[in-house]
């Protein structure tokens, strides 16, 4: 994903082609996505990557942020932010204005969020290390938009991690289902329903199970 806080898709594509990458615009529905077919240099170690001109992300991870449609000047929350790909995308759509809270329950993973936000030039962000269920108590009705990319069983990534098939059981899914419901309720309570521009919550998972999505 091209980081529009620092560059444009066309400029980035030219730079990467000059480095020895074979890249193309990813899809008609995104103006920031590039797909890398093959490369003579490590994708995560180019001068452009280190300078924060792009983030390595799956195309499907663009969609929750596009659905959220954050606006400049808003107060937004990414409730489970690590490693910061979606958070930095939100910041780019906010044009680095307003306030963006990037929260993750895992202290170690918060370090990745901080590193990526620094690299990508995000300066409207506040990183927090809280249980997402606490946010409604700390900041009731404080946000225009909230992204909840919920902790899940990860069944949607079977195509790249076959171990998911055998490492999950129904009890594990039930526990996550309970946590997801608690996080959604907290997010709804932390949302400003009377926001002049927002009042939106986007819930997403990388699971294909009904229990963790439609139910």
For residue 155, give the DSSP letter: G
Cβ contact 204:149 at 8 Å = yes
C-alpha to C-alpha distance for 105 and 184, rounded to whole angstroms: 15
- In a 13 Å sphere around the CA of 161, the CA atoms on its Cβ side amount to 12
Specify burial of residue 187 (Cβ count, 10 A radius: 0-12, 13-18, 19+): buried
Unique residue bearing structure tokens 């680095």: 96
Residues 6+ apart with CB under 8 A from 10: none
Kindly report the backbone phi and psi dihedral angles of residue 133, in degrees, each rounded to the nearest multiple of 5, phi listed first.
-70, -15
For residue 210, give the DSSP letter: G
Give me the catalytic one of 76, 110, 124, 206. Answer: 206
206 carries an active-site annotation: yes
Q: Where are the alpha helices (DSSP H) in the chain?
A: 9-19, 47-50, 62-68, 85-93, 107-119, 135-138, 170-190
Which residues have a catalytic role annotated? 206
């Amino acid at each position: 994903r091209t980081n529009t806080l620092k560059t444009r898709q066309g400029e980035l594509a030219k730079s990467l082609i000059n480095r020895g990458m074979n890249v193309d615009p990813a899809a008609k529905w995104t103006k920031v996505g590039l797909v890398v077919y093959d490369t003579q240099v490590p994708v995560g170690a180019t001068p452009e990557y280190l300078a924060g001109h792009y983030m390595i992300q799956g195309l499907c991870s663009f969609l929750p942020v596009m659905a959220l449609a954050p606006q400049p000047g808003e107060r937004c929350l990414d409730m489970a932010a690590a490693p910061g790909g979606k958070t930095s995308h939100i910041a780019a759509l906010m044009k680095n204005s307003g306030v963006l809270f990037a929260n993750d329950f895992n202290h170690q993973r918060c370090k990745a969020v901080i590193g990526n936000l620094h690299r990508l030039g995000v300066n409207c962000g506040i990183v927090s290390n809280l249980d997402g269920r606490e946010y409604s108590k700390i900041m009731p009705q404080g946000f225009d938009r909230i992204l909840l990319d919920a902790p899940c069983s990860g069944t949607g990534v079977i195509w790249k991690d076959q171990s998911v098939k055998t490492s999950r059981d129904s009890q594990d899914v039930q526990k996550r289902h309970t946590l997801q419901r608690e996080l959604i309720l907290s997010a709804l309570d932390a949302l400003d329903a009377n926001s002049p521009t927002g009042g939106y919550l986007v819930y997403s998972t990388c699971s294909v199970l009904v229990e963790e999505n439609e139910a």
